[in-house]
Amino acid sequence: MTKYNYKIIGLDCLDCARKVEERLNKEEKLHNVVINFATSKISYETETDNCFQMINKIIDEVEPGSKMVLEEKEKKEYHYLVLVIALILGIIGSREFKFHEIFLYLSYILLLYPPFKKAWKMLIKSHTINENLLICISTIGALLIGSEMEGVMVASLYMLGKILEEQALNKTRMSIQNLLLIKQDYANLKVGKDFSKISVEDVKIGDILCIKKGEKVPVDGEIIKGKTTFDTSALTGESELVELTENDKIFSGYVNTSNMVLMKSSSLYKDSTISKIIELAMTAGEKKAKVETTVTKFSKIYTPIILLLSLVVGILLPIITNVSYHDSLYRALTFLVIACPCAIAISVPLSYFTGIGVASKNGILIKGSNYLDNLSHLKKIIFDKTGTLTTGNFEVTKIEVLDNEYTKKEVIDILRKGEAFSNHPIARSIMKLDNSKVDTKDVSDYKEIDGVGISFKLKDKIVKIGTKKVCDDDCSYNVSLHLNINSHHVASIYIDDGIKKNALKVLDDIKTLGIKSYIFTGDKKEVAKEVAKNLNIKDYYAEMLPTDKYKKYEEIEKGEITAYVGDGINDSPVLKRASIGISMGSLGSDIAISASDIVIMNDDLRKIPLGIKISKYTSLVIKENLIFALSVKIIILILSIFGLSSMWFAVFADTGVTLLTVLNSLKIIKKFKKL
């Protein structure tokens, strides 16, 4: 099964995109057809070659004039010049003089030709009615009942609205697509002493590539020669430049801002970090939030309801009231103008996609609008400790010698003799206490007890290093490690695994957002307790295996939206199970991207409350758009029934409201510029 992605042009609204998507998904040869109206993209899977023409034929049957294209340029169908000429002709034609009707009819032809052409194709090919036919009927109806100039203004406002709406949509699409212009199209391959420019898709693992100043890194790899600074903001959202040199890893999407360097590729382009990010960003619209699916269902019944109401108004109003048929027809025509649900159908997915794009710009990859929506309703958040809240880089902060027979240097020597046999991170932190070579000839009977410590013989002494469980000595202190010699507590070793910078501030921010925090860790209870205490978190669970985390998550969730934040590796089971799985500091990690719903592209905990704020603001914008669009339409409909509204108001309720809701969605980009 091969997946294809193309640009689709000619779609006027989300409802049109939905109709095409539903029709294509009925084809046996096509699978998982998704049309993203916000980006004008179509994706589908098929095992059949050469489906391009067949698909375009179906698209044209459902939405005449629409099609898939390889080129990025789209032909503009609405032009300011045509609008200006049509308006001038309409104004001239409204004056009383010989043959003035000719000018008026020319104005109508110029204004109605584009929508009439689309409406006619739609009616003939797919036997359906859309807003183009409705605007034609209402405008011609205005001409027939003697409201010629009003008909001209309605058609003119409709055309103007379409022009502005198209420009606003294109601006939004461009803003979002600019976030994804992080791919390097070529690579400078070293061939002997020379360099050859090749397509980035042709890069092989192990190739030597040259990255010049101003160029993007094409694939993931490692610097083998040179030293320079990189702009990593496209991936991490961080504006501060990063200096990297030989043996340092670099990722596709980094921008070289200084000196030329040579790198050795470690991935193909399709497996590179940038490829995964682009794929995630472009498919984010495929996973729709509940609000989107509700709006889609509402759009299906909205237009037929309005059409029925317009017939009721046009036919029954003169029968049950004193309104003339002329006035009732005018009111029915006004209903038709309001019939398209574009303002509702476009603004919701556009707002979600904008929110996802802004998050991506700040180094937060969100896989779909459903996860962005869930984030705004988050009630609980569970943090894995090591690697998430703490650095995982253990450091001995204090050694307290409690036996006068030993000096601090002798205690360090004993500790290093035992820990020299262990690969545990704590052992490595103890080995760093002294750079001298360790002599272990006098060490025997070494044993390592998982999770609690070690024991060994040092000449004639029995030495134990670890928690109170293994030492079983007379020390009552709550310390990280005990040094026990011959069943006597000799020294207390305090170890800090390094709470991350800003962790306390981040957790306080999350608390102010009304979200409760928890800690899960496989570490000792004493360590977990200390970290939880320093971070003001009451609920923590220690000495947990991955299966324990999974079970405890289900106990805590209790039907509420609950996020789990982990490193994306040993936490993958619970990341997949969580309402929202968030991977921290997992740049380039396949496991992180596949297991989680949201990926933080660096180790900055501040991205989590930022992501929550983006989601909440996006939800607020969506509510504003829905309330505004529905309120205006309902008010204009009611006013129309009582003859208090004109077609001009109706055009505003349709095209004008659509434009305003699209512009309102752009607030998300403005509010959350890259921090």
pLDDT tens per residue across span 540-579:
998 887 788 889 999 999 889 999 998 755 677 888 889 9
Residues 454/418, Cβ–Cβ less than 8 Å: yes
**Per-residue pLDDT band at 597 (split at 50, 70, 90):** confident
Q: Which residue has the higher pLDDT, 400 or 469?
A: 400
Mean pLDDT: which of 302-311, 497-506, 583-592 is highest?
Answer: 497-506
> Greater confidence, 170 or 549?
549
Edge to edge, the sheet with strand 2-9 lists: 31-36, 41-46, 2-9, 67-69
* Cα dist from 13 to 38, 95, 307, 352, 493, whole Å: 10, 37, 18, 16, 67
CA distances from 576 to 369, 515, 604 (A): 17, 21, 22
**Which of 44-48, 329-333, 485-489, 653-657 shows the lowest mean pLDDT across its residues?**
653-657
Residue 138 has which token pair? Answer: 């209402």
- Identify the CA nearest to 64 among candidates 129, 125, 6: 125
Query: Is the pLDDT higher at 239 or at 526?
Result: 526
Residue type, 163: I
Instruction: Identify the DSSP state of 240.
Output: S
Tokens for 17, please give them. 């995109």
Q: What is the pTM of this model?
A: 0.66
Q: For residue 76, is pLDDT > 50?
A: no
DSSP character for 285? G
Specify the CATH class of 364-391+500-601 in words.
alpha beta
- Yes or no: say if 130 and 12 are a contact pair by the CB < 8 Å rule: yes
**Helix (H) or strand (E) run with residue 190 in it:** strand 186-191
**What does the pLDDT read at residue 580?**
93
Q: Residue 75: which pLDDT band, with cuts at 50, 70 and 90?
A: very low
**Do residues 234 and 182 lie in contact, with contact meaning Cβ atoms separated by under 8 Å?**
yes
* Three state DSSP letters for 117-141: HHHHHHHHHCCCCCHHHHHHHHHHH
Residue limits of CATH 3.30.70.100 in the chain: 2-58
Whose tokens are 């000018």? That residue is 103
Nearest CA to 672 among 624, 617, 620?
A: 617
* Range 2-58 has CATH code 3.40.50.10540: no
| pLDDT exceeds 50 at position 108 | yes
- Closest CA relative to residue 179, chosen from 287, 269, 274, 40: 274
Report the pLDDT averaged over residues 155-175.
68
Q: pLDDT, tens digit, for every residue of 655-672?
A: 788 778 888 888 888 888
How many Å apart are CA 35 and CA 43, to the nearest integer?
Answer: 7
Closest CA to 55 of 100, 7, 91: 7
d(CA 121, CA 253): 45
| Strand-strand pairing, 67-69 and 2-9 | antiparallel
Please classify residue 71 by burial: count the beta carbons closer than 10 Å to its beta carbon, then call 0-12 exposed, 13-18 middle and 19+ buried: exposed
Task: Pick the closest to residue 494 from 369, 361, 397, 570 (CA basis).
Answer: 397
Strand partners, 540: 519
CATH label, 395-496, candidates 3.30.390.30, 3.40.50.1110, 3.30.300.30, 3.40.1110.10: 3.40.1110.10
Q: How many CA atoms lie within 13 A of 419 on its CB side?
A: 23
SS3 call for 517: strand
Q: Which of 166-170, 334-338, 637-641 has the lowest mean pLDDT?
A: 166-170
Calpha distance 510→409 (Å, rounded): 44
Reported as a pLDDT band with limits 50, 70 and 90, residue 221 is very high
pLDDT value at residue 111: 86
Computed on alpha carbons and rounded to an integer, the radius of gyration of the chain in Å comes to 33
Residue 363 · residue 236 · CB < 8 Å: yes
What pLDDT is recorded for position 74? 46
Q: Is the dihedral of CA 158, 163, 164, 170 positive or negative?
A: positive
Can 384 be counted among the known catalytic residues?
yes
Name the catalytic one among 220, 384, 509, 597. Answer: 384
Helix, coil or strand: residue 617: helix
DSSP assignment string, 292-337:
HHHHHHHHHHHHHHHHHHHHHHHHHHHHHSS--HHHHHHHHHHHHH
Helices 148-178 and 657-665, axial angle in degrees (round to 10): 20
Tens digit of each residue's pLDDT (9 = 90 or more) over 407-431? 999 999 999 999 999 877 788 889 9
Name the more confident of 602 and 556.
Answer: 556
pLDDT bin (cut points 50, 70, 90) of residue 325 is confident
Sequence ranges of the chain with CATH classification 3.40.50.1000: 364-391+500-601
Q: What value does the mean pLDDT take over residues 210-237?
A: 88
A 10 A CB-CB count for 274 gives: 26
- Token pair for residue 276? 């995964």
Contacts of 162 (CB under 8 A, 6+ apart): 78, 655
Q: Does residue 623 carry a pLDDT above 50?
A: yes
233: its two tokens: 């903001």
pLDDT at 394 over 80: no
> Of the ranges 2-6, 13-17, 541-545, 560-564, which one carries the lowest mean pLDDT score?
13-17
- The residue among 28 and 11 whose pLDDT is bigger is 28
Report the range of poorest mean pLDDT among 13-22, 199-208, 368-377, 391-400: 13-22
